[in-house]
Structure 1
Amino acid sequence: MSSLRIKICGIRDPRTGYAAALAGADAIGMVLAPSRRQVTPEQAREICQALPPMVTRVGVFVNTPAEEVRQIAHFCGLDIVQLHGQESPDYCRNLGLRCIKALPARDRHTLEQARLYPVSAILVDAFVKGQTGGTGCTFNWHLLDDLDLKLPLILAGGLTPDNVGRAVALVRPFAVDVSSGVEVNGQKDIHLITAFIKRAREVCTYAAGY
């Protein structure tokens, strides 16, 4: 718990990415798939180049051909790719890049499929039919009770400065991932980002007994 990592996703410009990193974000996510938060590879590269060292650069993809993912990751300087589609375990295995596989919290059986994926971490997001993330919806966190994935768990789905403390205390994830929960009128808000990071770290530190 004391090493909780925080990812701010859906960053669309270098200035906001840099400000989020200075506020304490460990990772910055850029959406390279159809979305209202989508950026071009050129924009993602600019964001990656603007970030301070030691901040993880994450590219989000949805059912993108593997060779295209590899090319974009190399061009942008991504550290890891986050896969939000129906990518198979074999797709992840053969990609040749560090991966985070996102799974919807549809039910316990769906989450147990995470064990099949040869990836660096599993991200669990709310299940919303027809959407692949960034919905602003939460899910029943008790679905994760005693779920031994043998992999780091990243919690996403409707997190905000108001509920992230409760989420961290209950789920005790490796990391939390937020996008819409730190936006105002569809734009990232640095005050909300700062509040989110502060609250998550406060609960993490308290739980660790420091």
Structure 2
Amino acid sequence: MISLKSLGVNKLTKIKICGLKCEDDILYANKLKPDYVGFVFAKSKRQIDKYIAKKLITKLDKNIKTVGVFLNNSVDTVKEIAEFCELDIIQLHGDEPPEYCNFFDREVWKAFRVKTKESFKNLKHYNANGYLLDTYTKEAYGGTGKAFNWSLASKISKEKFIILAGGLSENSIDKAIDIVKPAVVDVSSGVETNGSKDFDKMERFIGKVRMII
């Protein structure tokens, strides 16, 4: 029998395309079938309101899980939007304290901005389903398109369910997966052209993740 490994097929690392904003993005996702898509409810250039998000989600392939990205919102606000949009996963991308993660009845991913090895010391205090590692910058909490030193995270995926973000693209994803071995890779700007999702870039990125080239 021919194994998936011998064919170079990567069945371990899943894919999240974040920052969907319009119907074209949904069409692209339905055709390319990433494992997760993200809708950003935090203030950013990719912010979307709950009404548009709900409309888009109704048109999304039901096998693709939905992730709502929040930043220092009240628990009630996050709960209301998550229920209204029927989100599968809540992603907390701000300075939420450890106890904040315990208020929700669905899967929670907590983001941490990586600068040095010390950036990982707080992970143990959070009871989350997943731990998203993004690049530390002074000017933003994420979505900058900048990568951190992946070697800092080379061991953490053995202990935690890691979602790797920050500066990923079709040109860097092989190296990122090889070093970090994350459960999920999370891309946004790396599959965009002029601020909009680019079908060809999405296709190449997803192809690179699913086939070890």
Fold similarity call, TM over 0.5: yes
Task: State the one-letter code of the partner of 1:33.
Answer: A
Contact kept, 8 Å, 1:14 with 1:46, in 2: the verdict is no
Contact kept, 8 Å, 1:161 with 1:199, in 2: the verdict is yes
In the alignment, is residue 135 of structure 1 matched against residue 139 of structure 2? no
Between the aligned partners of 1:36 and 1:73, the Cα distance in structure 2 is 20
Between the aligned partners of 1:201 and 1:56, the Cα distance in structure 2 is 18
Which ranges in structure 2 are unaligned for 5 or more consecutive residues? 1-9
Equivalent residue, structure 2, for 1:81: 90
Alignment of 1:9-158 (within 5 A): 9-147=18-156, 150-158=159-167
Moved more, 117-126 or 12-21: 12-21
Residue by residue over 1:90-143, the C-alpha shift from the partner in whole angstroms, topping out at 9 and shown as x without a partner, is 001123332100100122122131121111100000111130111000110011
- 1:13 to partner: Cα distance: 1.4
- 1:21 to partner: Cα distance: 3.4
Between the aligned partners of 2:141 and 2:168, the Cα distance in structure 1 is 16
Contact kept, 8 Å, 2:131 with 2:161, in 1: the verdict is yes
Change (3 A) 1:37 1:55: same
Contact kept, 8 Å, 1:3 with 1:174, in 2: the verdict is yes
Contact kept, 8 Å, 2:91 with 2:108, in 1: the verdict is yes
Contact kept, 8 Å, 1:112 with 1:149, in 2: the verdict is no
Contact kept, 8 Å, 2:33 with 2:64, in 1: the verdict is no
Residue by residue over 1:5-27, the C-alpha shift from the partner in whole angstroms, topping out at 9 and shown as x without a partner, is 10000000133123223213110
Contact kept, 8 Å, 1:20 with 1:194, in 2: the verdict is no
Root-mean-square deviation (CA, aligned residues, Å) is 1.4
- 1:150 to partner: Cα distance: 3.2
Moved more, 143-152 or 40-49: 143-152
Which ranges in structure 1 are unaligned for 5 or more consecutive residues? none
Aligned residues: 204
| Paired-residue identity, % | 36
Between the aligned partners of 1:141 and 1:186, the Cα distance in structure 2 is 25
Aligned with 1:118: secondary structure? coil
Between the aligned partners of 2:180 and 2:158, the Cα distance in structure 1 is 13
If the length of structure 1 is used for normalisation, what is the TM-score?
A: 0.92
- 1:151 to partner: Cα distance: 2.3
If the length of structure 2 is used for normalisation, what is the TM-score?
A: 0.91
Contact kept, 8 Å, 1:99 with 1:120, in 2: the verdict is yes
Task: State the one-letter code of the partner of 1:85.
Answer: G
Between the aligned partners of 1:187 and 1:148, the Cα distance in structure 2 is 31
- 1:149 to partner: Cα distance: 6.7
Contact kept, 8 Å, 1:82 with 1:99, in 2: the verdict is yes
